[in-house]
Amino acid sequence: MLAAASLLCVPAAPIAQPAARGPVPAPPTARAARAAEPAAGTARNAARQPARSSGGPQAAVLETVLGTIVIRLAERDAPQTVANFKRLVASGFYDGTYFHRVIPGFMIQGGDPNTKNDNPNDDGLGGPGYTVPAEIGLPHVRGAVATARQADAINPKRASNASQFFIDVADQPSLDRDGYTVFGHVISGMDVVDRIVALAEDASLPPSPGGGRNPMKKTLVTRAWLEPLARWETPVPDAARATAR
């Protein structure tokens, strides 16, 4: 089981180191393989500009100083979490934040408004002041995007921190058992995520509460926006679809 505070983000939570650095990744599932995003093309994608929503499925685009990360949002499986995330993105909430907690082989965590101030000691302790009901169900595979939360002892309903999120850098079946809401999947920019992970190998970086390193503004999110998912997803040819069946 995950250590009590390794993904928890509020002052009331105790601080503890996570066990090992997460489980050894299992072989990729078919679902994970289909969702996997090739490293090539991130530079091309980073040049894209925000587009108006067409009213259909949307993607969240995070422009960082290391490149662009695009998240397909699980609007059917986690509707309340996605609706809240979209509101925060549209309001500019994430602009100027950074990934404050990085654990190689496990995950990167961001979305804390405290990272906008000049005090790194309170990174990981912030949020918008409310929680979102748990919507647990989707698996924690490489590229899954999930919400942070308090420990079960003080949060038995496993409600999510309303702004902090993390991206799994490997399959994490232990998180499926422990119950963290997955609300999206990275469809472009996992190479950027891997570059963020690589920063944590620098032992001179300050530690992050709960384990890992804090790269601070080296992972700055300069802006975030929403745009039509169709702009990022490549249609599957009929022949390939028939073969898959």
Tens-digit pLDDT profile for residues 1-27: 343 344 554 333 322 233 333 332 333
Exposure letters 211-243 (e unless 16+ CB within 10 A, then b): bbbbbbebbbbeebbbbbbeebeeeeeeeeeee
Token pair 């891997």 in the structure block, residue: 194
Residue 5 lies inside a defined structural domain of this protein: no
Residue 104 lies inside a defined structural domain of this protein: yes
Tens-digit pLDDT profile for residues 72-105: 999 999 999 999 999 999 999 999 999 999 999 9
Residue 33 lies inside a defined structural domain of this protein: no
Per-residue pLDDT band at 230 (split at 50, 70, 90): very high
Residue 137 lies inside a defined structural domain of this protein: no
Report the number of distinct structural domains present in the chain.
1
Domain of 224, CATH number, reads: 2.40.100.10
Residue 98 lies inside a defined structural domain of this protein: yes
**pLDDT at position 235:** 54
Residue-range definition of the domain harbouring residue 77: 51-125+182-244
Instruction: Please state the pTM of the whole predicted model.
Output: 0.77
Distance CA 182, CA 138 (A): 6
Single-letter residue type at 235:
P
Tens-digit pLDDT profile for residues 34-84: 333 433 344 334 334 444 445 689 999 999 999 999 999 999 999 999 999
If one counts every other C-beta atom within 10 angstroms of the C-beta of residue 110, the result is 27
